[in-house]
């Protein structure tokens, strides 16, 4: 019996944190029936162009965009929504392909460490979020003495070494990814109006469980 062809899912990711999380998802959270690929858009302004390129490729069965809401403190969320609207034509289609987290994707990563009440984010400010990141990754946000002999804090900036350290802990401990799936149930799906909020859990569960109907439903909405 011939092997069934895999279902091809492509993600356009806003930035480095999303890319790091999807490295983990591809390794630990993807059912073998799926072929999962993604691109780092390196900024919200590039999501639309990348999305346009990928939906034009026949090998992709469905294309999704993963980006932050930032509690509407900036125009980034609205910019991506407008870009996708120009491509897809209706808000229903834009909503179908949009995987969003309020305030940002760091909230999902932290749920691998603890329950929501202990890791709740209310801001996208990396400076404000440094103490909570430091709580679970000691070297990130660690105090040091500057050239004037004063204590200062090395901020969480989502730079390469910090993201590699976070990713490494997940890849060495698969229970952390399982914790995301468990703890994310506390997030409100209404990411536009709730902080924190996200619609990522149905996606993650579908990837893990091999629920192809979740993705075919999105595909059907975009084809209507």
Q: What is the pLDDT of residues 185-206, one digit of tens each?
A: 999 999 999 999 999 999 999 9
Distance, in Å, from the CA atom of 82 to the CA atom of 42, rounded to the nearest integer, reads: 18
Tokens of 175: 């229970």
Sign of CA dihedral 32, 34, 35, 40: negative
Cα gap 16→201, rounded to integer Å: 20
The encoded tokens of residue 141 equal: 């946000």
Q: What is the pLDDT of residue 165?
A: 96
The pLDDT, as a whole number, for residue 142 is: 85
Residue with tokens 């309020």: 102
The position carrying tokens 């987290």 is 101
Taking CA atoms, 156 is separated from 17, 39, 94, 118, in Å, by 12, 23, 32, 18
Looking at residue 36, the DSSP 8-state letter turns out to be: E
pLDDT at residue 91, as a whole number: 97
Q: What does 128-189 look like in DSSP terms, one character per residue?
A: HHHHHHHHHSTTTT-EEE-TTS-EEE------HHHHHHHHHHHHT-THHHHHHHHHGGGSBS
pLDDT tens digits along 116-135? 999 999 999 999 999 999 99
The reported pLDDT for the residue numbered 212 is 96
pLDDT beneath 50, residues of the chain: 1-2
């Amino acid at each position: 019996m011939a092997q069934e062809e895999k279902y091809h899912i492509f993600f356009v990711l806003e930035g480095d944190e999303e890319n790091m999380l999807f490295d983990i998802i591809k390794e630990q959270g993807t059912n073998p029936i799926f072929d999962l690929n993604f691109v780092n858009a390196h900024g919200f302004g590039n999501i639309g162009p990348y999305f346009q390129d990928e939906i034009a490729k026949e090998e992709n069965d469905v294309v999704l965009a993963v980006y932050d809401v930032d509690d509407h403190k900036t125009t980034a969320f609205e910019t991506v929504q407008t870009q996708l609207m120009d491509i897809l034509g209706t808000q229903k289609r834009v909503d179908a392909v949009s995987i969003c987290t309020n305030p940002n994707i760091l909230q999902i990563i932290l749920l691998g460490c603890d329950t929501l009440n202990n890791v709740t984010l209310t801001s996208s400010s990396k400076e404000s979020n440094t103490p909570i990141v430091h709580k679970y990754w000691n070297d990130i946000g660690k105090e040091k003495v500057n050239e004037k002999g004063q204590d200062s804090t090395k901020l969480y900036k989502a730079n390469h070494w910090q993201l590699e350290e976070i990713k490494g802990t997940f890849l060495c401990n698969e229970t952390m990814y399982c914790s995301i799936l468990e703890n994310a149930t506390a997030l409100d799906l209404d990411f536009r109006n709730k902080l924190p909020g996200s619609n990522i859990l149905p996606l993650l569960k579908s990837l893990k469980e091999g629920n192809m109907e979740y993705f075919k439903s999105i595909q059907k909405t975009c084809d209507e």
